[in-house]
Structure 1
Amino acid sequence: MSAKVTETTEKLVQPILQEMNLELVDIEFEKEGKNWFLRVFVDKEGGVDIEECGQVSEQLSEKLDAEDPVATPYFLEVSSPGAERPLKKPQDFQANLNNNIHVKLYEPINGEKEYEGVLKDFDDDTITLEVKVKTRKQEIQLPYDKVAKARLAVSFN
């Protein structure tokens, strides 16, 4: 059910975002406790403000009511992805070279399933991260197809 809901929501929200010059970052449809939440994360260069999120929410809500893809009651939330924005598509990685990122893998590489470091390079098959090992920096290659989740990471160095 959740894949169909996110797919339909993406189709409905894209024209709204194009008109407002906003980018779709992610869509989640998740149950938390007894309630279902449909979360739409949008962004633009320089960030989005609360008014823009409100406009998207209002327009999307009308379209969702008309299309009615969700069989169960839910809460619609439209927001900015924040400082730890998810990296979903290859272009997200390309756009964030030299930024600090956090990567979770489907299976361990060098005994680890999670890495955090500076994104040094990306091609369609490989992520190159500069990570700190004790006091040294070293570059590691992670296969793109082994990435379960990736996001920007706030660094306090």
Structure 2
Amino acid sequence: MFYLGKVADTVTDFVLPIAHSEDLSLIDVEFLKEGSDWVLRIFLENKDGDLTIEECEKVSRALSLILDEEDPIDKSYILEVSSPGLERPLKTEEDFERFKGELIAVKTFKKINGQKEFVGTLKNFEKEKIILNLKNEEEITIDYSLVARANLTFEI
């Protein structure tokens, strides 16, 4: 059976050593269907925060060779390697530590105070809890186990 999470996990195992050899951090791996196409997306960043096209191409070429050899995906797909962009996902404790003071969006699996989506300034991440200062100056604490998605965001 074809399992999307297994593909992402397998590809993560392949891309991590490549990323580390290029002194890059792996942010996320997504495998999803968009229209009639399957897309495998690899999100990377470097220490300076300005990932270059050349860095993306190097990782893409090296990963393509491994994927062609190992053939872990039983569908045809498009491989994309890029930076995570302005709305970078926050996945690890290190991400939350690094982006304290930044505006983030959090979506939860279940409602908290009647809602599932929150936007606020990341005050802290401690003991598996995200502490946000919301726009109305209210502070909310969200248990990390309830988080479906968290990412940087911006105001227009």
Q: Does 1:40 find its partner at 2:32?
A: no
Task: Name the aligned partner's letter for residue 143 of structure 2.
Answer: P
For the aligned residues, what is the CA RMSD? 1.0
Instruction: Pick the aligned partner of 1:94 from 97, 100, 124.
Output: 97
Tell me how far apart the structure 2 counterparts of residues 96 and 155 of structure 1 sit (CA, whole Å): 16
1:21 corresponds in structure 2 to: 23
Summarize deviations over 1:47-78 as a string: whole Å, max 9, x none: 20111111110110001001100011111000
Match of 2:140 in 1: 140
Report SS of the residue matched to 1:130. Answer: strand
Residue 88 (structure 2) pairs with residue 103 (structure 1): no
Deviation of residue 108 (structure 1)?
0.9
- Which residue of 2 is the match for residue 4 of structure 1? 6
User: For 2:89, what is the secondary structure of its paired residue?
Assistant: coil
Matches of 1:94 and 1:36, distance apart in 2: 33
Q: Deviations over 1:12-44 (max 9, x none)?
A: 111111111100000001011111111000012
Amino acid at match of 1:143: D
Shift of 1:138: 1.9
Please list every run of 5 or more consecutive structure 1 residues that lacks an aligned counterpart in the other structure. Answer: none
Q: Distance in 2 between matches of 1:17 and 1:86?
A: 18
Shift of 1:94: 1.3
- TM-score norm. by structure 1 comes to 0.93
1:84 to 87, 90, 96: 87
Gaps of 5+ in 2: none
Contact 1:90 1:124 in 2 (8 A): no
User: TM-score under structure 2 normalisation?
Assistant: 0.94
Runs of 4+ in 1 over 2 A off after TM superposition: none
| Letter of the 1:146 counterpart | L
